Amino acid sequence: MSTDLPHPDRDLLPPEVTPPGRRDPESVGPYRLIGRIVRDTAGTVMLGVDPGGTMVAVRIVPAEVADATNVRARLTAEVGRLVRGRVVCAAGYRGSDIQAAEPWLATEYAPGRSLATHLVEHGPLRGDVLTALAVGLAEALSAWHALGGAHLGLGPDKVVLSPTGPKVVDLGVASAVGRPIGNPRWAAPEQGGSGPEANGSADVFAWGHLVRFAATGWEPSGVTVTEPDLGDVPDSLAPLVREALLEEPGERPTAQRLLQELTGRSEDDLSATVSGFLSETWTGVTVPEPRRVRRSRVPVSVGATTIVLAAALLTGWLAVDAGEDADDAAGEAEDSTDTTSTDAEGSVAEEPSVPTVTEAPENVDAVMAETIELALEASSFTTFEHHHHNSVGDTTPVHYLQTDEPIPAISRASYLGPTGMGAMALGSDLQEVVNLQVLPGEEMERLHYRDSDTGSEPLEHPREQWEDLVEEIGQVLEMAEPGYQGTGTAPSEYLPPEILGDGDLSERTGHRYTATYVQEGFRDYGPLEATLDFWVDETGYPLRLERRMETEETIAETGETLVFTHLVEFARFDLPVDAQVPTDEEILPEHPGH
């Protein structure tokens, strides 16, 4: 195989794909991984490229999920269905390794916007395209159910509007891992844990909500009603949608019946009928142009390979044929795209990347994914985190500092206004961890010392604690599914001045995202109603997170309802931070009080 074959570049990605995370693998099996599509309870879906340049979606299941009882066996069964299946409107099978330490499953990569993103950008579907969506979804479900499978995680993020028709993704994943991979608002009543075990009838319920959503833009509330409001769902679809949304699974139509009534055909194999119907009715759906993504702290040189990729992506996300002359392709791409410029010496220079929040702040999934990735990859920052109850100050907050000057270092310390204690990791690989004590005074002077007690517990690594915090926030954002509220000034009612460094951060402007949702499994309280307020600055970095969870418990002293709040103030990213990194001589062998 020629080594000159052009490959897609992970700095030029579809709009709903973000760069790989720090902990994402670079490759699995024969696939090089160039972007992350989604992360959920069943693992991560990556955008991969095979040796010939064809892109695939690769589902990677974490070992802790895969090693649960019967999960690998169920994954093997789902792979068998994918291999046997011939589904027009679903992502087809490309490869797998279920016995790997972290099993992976590769399927066709469907270029296009998700149904959720399409409606945000273009509004509800109308006419033949809406009917074609209903037909395509029914075909995918009918074919999958005929193989003995069920999706059980169907929602608008699992439906891609490709140029050739709708494509359902993640078939069989939820069934295999035994975990929900979709928003519970889209789930059928029987998926709530009581009643009969969920099966393909639950997918029909989701089909009803998806058609209603596509026609109206209305998301389900999570509560099943006897007479759902169908809004602009046309009369030709309304009876089937209403029947699909019935509470009792046995009263809903099968996916096969949906398909037969929508096409007016009754033969067992309707694949050819569906393909013909889509070719006539599926119009006006385009592939979004690729966008250059920012890789924090990673310099990128743009050359012919990236230019060739731009041409391939702009013509439908197709890889350049191995026999094509790369120079000719590069020349054509330079004429048709404007992604590079030439400096005075004639070398190709990269255009500055633009944060997703600037180009498309309403593309919530992409904004959230990029925000989390930027926070993880920042070279310096200062952050204040506080878990408290009804009033600020009733518990101890913590303070993070990271710097790369004079050497890489990160610290995490309790904040007791402004004294405290904690740990600092320092060195090129942050390999050395020492104790620190924040001394009283306006300057927040720090004392660093090693622990001479060899029998003591090892210090928790502050970088690992930081990554855990950021990834927890990412999981909360994914669960809450916040909506975009526009721009404004982020609150700063409790931002201690000692952590700000230089500059006034009281007038921090950014983009606001909010949500009200059910927080599962918080301590021993069970499901709690939660509200989320999240801010992102103009460069894509997080500004502020506040999550409030109200319990049914009351505080004896005041009679107030007990409310838990998680507050995170992100004060500075990729700006100079004085972390008071000690030299080796300044690190004491033990605490001076010993």
Domain ranges of the chain: 12-108, 113-281, 299-353, 364-573
For the ranges 466-470, 500-504, 553-557, the maximum mean pLDDT occurs at 466-470
Average pLDDT (263-288) is: 86
Task: Please say if the pLDDT value at position 424 is more than 90.
Answer: yes
CA atoms in the 13 A half-sphere facing the CB of 321: 4
Q: What is the distance between the alpha carbons of residues 159 and 147, in angstroms, rounded to a whole number?
A: 20
What residues contact residue 196 under an 8 Å CB cut-off, 6+ apart? Answer: 190, 249
Closest CA to 204 of 167, 152, 158, 157: 152
pLDDT recorded at residue 339: 40
Task: Please say if the pLDDT value at position 466 is more than 80.
Answer: yes
Distances in Å between the Cα of 63 and the Cα atoms of 43, 102, 337, 358, 396 are: 9, 5, 42, 37, 35
Question: What is the signed CA dihedral for 160, 161, 162, 163, rounded to 10 degrees?
Answer: 180
Contact (CB, 8 A) for 150 and 79: no
Contact (CB, 8 A) for 17 and 35: yes
**Share of residues in the chain with pLDDT > 70 (%):** 79
**Chain mean pLDDT for the chain:** 81
Q: Is the peptide bond before 418 cis (omega within 30 degrees of 0)?
A: yes
pLDDT recorded at residue 505: 58
What residues contact residue 522 under an 8 Å CB cut-off, 6+ apart? Answer: 528, 549, 564
Instruction: State whether residue 535 is helix, strand or coil.
Output: strand
What residues contact residue 321 under an 8 Å CB cut-off, 6+ apart? Answer: none
Measured at the alpha carbon of residue 60, what is the angle toward residues 59 and 65, in degrees to the nearest 5? Answer: 120
Contact (CB, 8 A) for 71 and 176: yes
Average pLDDT (35-53) is: 89
Q: How confident is the model at residue 6 (pLDDT cuts 50, 70, 90)?
A: very low
In CATH, which of 2.10.25, 1.20.120, 2.50.20, 1.20.144 is domain 364-573?
A: 2.50.20
pLDDT recorded at residue 346: 46
Closest CA to 211 of 189, 182, 186: 186
pLDDT recorded at residue 46: 94
> Tell me, what amino acid is at 483?
G
Distances in Å between the Cα of 447 and the Cα atoms of 75, 124, 367, 411, 590 are: 53, 60, 39, 12, 11
> Tell me, what amino acid is at 168?
V
Instruction: State whether residue 306 is helix, strand or coil.
Output: helix
Task: Please say if the pLDDT value at position 294 is more than 80.
Answer: no
Closest CA to 548 of 589, 514, 502: 514
DSSP 322: T
pLDDT tens column, 481-535: 899 999 988 887 666 655 555 555 567 789 999 999 888 766 666 788 889 999 9
> Tell me, what amino acid is at 45?
V
* CATH class name, domain 113-281: mainly alpha
Task: Please say if the pLDDT value at position 557 is more than 50.
Answer: yes
Distances in Å between the Cα of 162 and the Cα atoms of 10, 90, 282, 337 are: 21, 11, 10, 22
Question: What is the signed CA dihedral for 65, 69, 75, 81, rounded to 10 degrees?
Answer: -150
pLDDT recorded at residue 270: 81
Query: What does R_g of the chain's alpha carbons equal in angstroms?
Result: 26
Q: How confident is the model at residue 301 (pLDDT cuts 50, 70, 90)?
A: very low
> Tell me, what amino acid is at 315?
T
- The number of beta carbons lying within 10 Å of the beta carbon of residue 486 is 9
pLDDT recorded at residue 444: 63
Could you report how far apart the first and last alpha carbons of the chain are, in Å?
66
Q: What is the distance between the alpha carbons of residues 273 and 269, in angstroms, rounded to a whole number?
A: 8
Decide: residue 365, CB within 10 A, 0-12 exposed, 13-18 middle, 19+ buried. buried
**Share of residues in the chain with pLDDT > 90 (%):** 45
Contact (CB, 8 A) for 433 and 423: yes
pLDDT tens column, 149-166: 999 999 999 999 999 999
Phi, psi (deg, nearest 5) at residue 218: -90, 125
Task: Please say if the pLDDT value at position 574 is more than 90.
Answer: no
Contact (CB, 8 A) for 114 and 167: no
Closest CA to 160 of 205, 114, 124, 199: 114
Question: What is the signed CA dihedral for 331, 337, 340, 344, rounded to 10 degrees?
Answer: 60
Closest CA to 43 of 54, 57, 29: 57
Average pLDDT (182-191) is: 86
Domain 12-108 and domain 364-573, same fold? Reply is no
Say which residue, 585 or 574, is predicted with more confidence.
585
pLDDT recorded at residue 98: 95
Closest CA to 398 of 497, 471, 466, 470: 466
Look at 99-103, 156-160, 171-175, 176-180 and tell me which has the smallest mean pLDDT.
Answer: 176-180
In CATH, which of 3.90.1150.10, 3.40.718.10, 3.30.200.20, 3.50.30.10 is domain 12-108?
A: 3.30.200.20
pLDDT tens column, 217-264: 998 888 888 889 999 999 999 999 999 999 999 999 999 999 999 998
Task: Please say if the pLDDT value at position 33 is more than 80.
Answer: yes
Joined together, the tokens standing for residue 431 give 């390999």
Task: Please say if the pLDDT value at position 105 is more than 80.
Answer: yes
Joined together, the tokens standing for residue 80 give 């068998």
- The number of beta carbons lying within 10 Å of the beta carbon of residue 434 is 18
Q: How confident is the model at residue 323 (pLDDT cuts 50, 70, 90)?
A: very low
Task: Please say if the pLDDT value at position 316 is more than 50.
Answer: no
- The number of beta carbons lying within 10 Å of the beta carbon of residue 359 is 12
pLDDT recorded at residue 499: 54
Q: What is the distance between the alpha carbons of residues 566 and 47, in angstroms, rounded to a whole number?
A: 33
- The sign of the torsion formed by the CA atoms of 364, 367, 368, 369 equals positive
pLDDT recorded at residue 24: 84
Average pLDDT (354-377) is: 88
